[in-house]
Homo-oligomer: A and B are copies of this chain.
Amino acid sequence: MDQKLQMLLDTVRKLIRRGAYPHITKVLAKSHPADIAHLFRYLDLKEQRILFNLLADPEISAYVLSELDHATGAQLLEQIDKETITEVLQEMPYDDAVDIIRNMPEELAEEVLQSMEVEHSEEIEELLKYDEDTAGGIMATEIFSLREEMTVREAIEAVQGAEDIEMVFYLYVTDEYNHLVGVLSLRQLLTVPPTARLKDIMTADVISVRTDIDQEEVAHLVAKYNILAIPVVDEGNKLMGIITVDDVIDVMREEATEDIYKMAGSSDEELLYGYKSFKIARLRLPWLITNLFGGVITGYLMWLFKATLEEVIALISFIPVITGMGGNVGGQSATIVVRGFATGRVDVSTMRQVFLKELRVGVIMGVVCGTTIGLVAFFWHHNPYLGLVVGLAMVTAMSVAATMGVVAPFFFKRVGVDPAIASTPFVQTANDITGILIYFGTATLFLSYLR
């Protein structure tokens, strides 16, 4: 957080504690809307409610809501009166308004939609049809487009007359049926004769996406082609909306956070719950319970080998390190594959290569760690055979773990389970089990030398 924001945050917090509301209103009036929106992220829900109520200008309220996650946004809106809700929502870009309405109680949402001006509510109801995570769900519908038969002079006049299109960088060109047929830049308009027709100067090769494309796919395309906006068309190539790069940034950030959280058995929905401990616990528990039963199975296997263990009690000293290292290496491989899926670096066509690479790397690292732990075992318990057993078990466990870390995500992807969620607990449990089996298996085999 930068210093300016930190100061603003400290001031606002202090004033909220003191209940000095008129003072806060003054501070807010002097702040950039983006800073105010940013501020909300650091406040708890109670503080957010107070501050939101103090925003006098519906335009700023709208801005703040656009920047917050939509569930929080819906919660903040619910506490104010319906007329203001309607007013604020009408100030927002349709795509953001839709996301907030989705998160409202159904009854309130209906009421609000009915009290809106028809032109607004129609647009919003149109957008509500699209799935939240698709191009249709994130596109802005306030598009400025030009007809292909227009002349350059007419186009410039249209640009001059258009309101609220600060962010025009690409001018999309359509035919009489609103089919997307080309694209122009504003600068291009300035460098050609005013009488030229758009269809003769436009670039006919436009990259566009369909409304039902997944938002992650949209982010990939925008990043790949380095474009600032991508037009969205329906199945008949009619221009429906536009997705700008700032929405794409939000998508990318969300998806990265989602993946990171998922791999730790957490969930990005947690953010929505803020400090509600019970709800958060409920989100995380299924993953933990899965791991719990994995741990019980591992424990059961150890129990089966208790005769071996009772004979050579020294074996217990290396249980944590054998299972731990297997888990670590498997976790590394799984992370590389899962993140590779997300960035597009890993897919079915490279599976064999990735598998062989991770196997080689696993063997190399296994030999290094196996030798180290073998020597530790030898010098600690003064038994060269124990060193051998522990070392061998380590090499095998780490090599198996590395390949398991590759196979598991591919398997889960194949059967349609999200590899980011399922891979870590599976890989960890599987490696604990194979680690214990390999370790005690080897030990039982060499039992007469270990005694």
A interface residues, Cβ below 8 angstroms from B: 1, 6, 9-10, 34, 38, 41-42, 44, 156, 159-160, 165-169, 185-187, 190-191, 222-228, 245-246, 248-250, 252-253, 256-257, 259-261, 263-266, 270-271, 275, 277-278, 280-281, 284-285, 287-289, 291-292, 294-296, 298-300, 302-303, 306, 309-310, 313-314, 316-325, 328-329, 331-332, 334-336, 339, 343-345, 347, 349-350, 353, 357, 360-361, 364-365, 368-369, 372-373, 376, 428, 432, 436
Contact = CB atoms under 8 A, between A and B. Distances in A.
A86 B171 CA distance: 36
A307 to B, nearest CB: 10
A357 B266 CA distance: 14
A386 to B, nearest CB: 12
Given A42-B347, A292-B369, A319-B320, 11 more contacts: A34-B224, A160-B190, A223-B253, A245-B249, A253-B343, A264-B332, A266-B336, A275-B353, A284-B365, A295-B322, A299-B321
Contact of A349 (B6, B185, B303): B6
Given A169-B228, A302-B316, A325 B373 contact: no
B317 A316 contact: no
A94 to B, nearest CB: 16
Contacts of A373: 292, 296
Given A34-B224, A303-B316, A328 B288 contact: yes
Contacts of A331: 264-265
Contacts of A223: 246, 249-250, 253
Contact of A319 (B191, B225, B302): B302
Contacts of A191: 160
Contacts of A320: 295, 298-299, 302, 319, 323, 432, 436
B38 A224 contact: yes
Contacts of A34: 224-226
B9 A349 contact: yes
Contacts of A300: 317
Q: Copy number in this complex? A: 2
Contacts of A248: 249
A345 B41 contact: yes
Given A190-B156, A313-B310, A266 B332 contact: yes
Contacts of A314: 303
Given A316-B309, A350-B42, A361-B281, A328 B368 contact: no
A336 B187 contact: no
B321 A264 contact: no
Contact of A328 (B265, B296, B302): B265
Contacts of A428: 324
A278 B324 contact: no
7 contacts: A34-B225, A245-B249, A260-B263, A264-B332, A275-B357, A288-B328, A291-B324
B364 A278 contact: yes
Contacts of A260: 256, 259-260, 263, 335, 339
A310 B312 CA distance: 11
B278 A295 contact: no
Nearest to A38: B224
Contacts of A364: 277-278, 281
Which residue of A190, A191, A227, A261 has the most chain B CB atoms within 10 A of its CB atom? A190
Which residue of A185, A252, A299 has the most chain B CB atoms within 10 A of its CB atom? A299
A418 B187 CA distance: 45
B360 A277 contact: yes
A12 B369 CA distance: 40
Nearest to A227: B246
Contacts of A185: 166
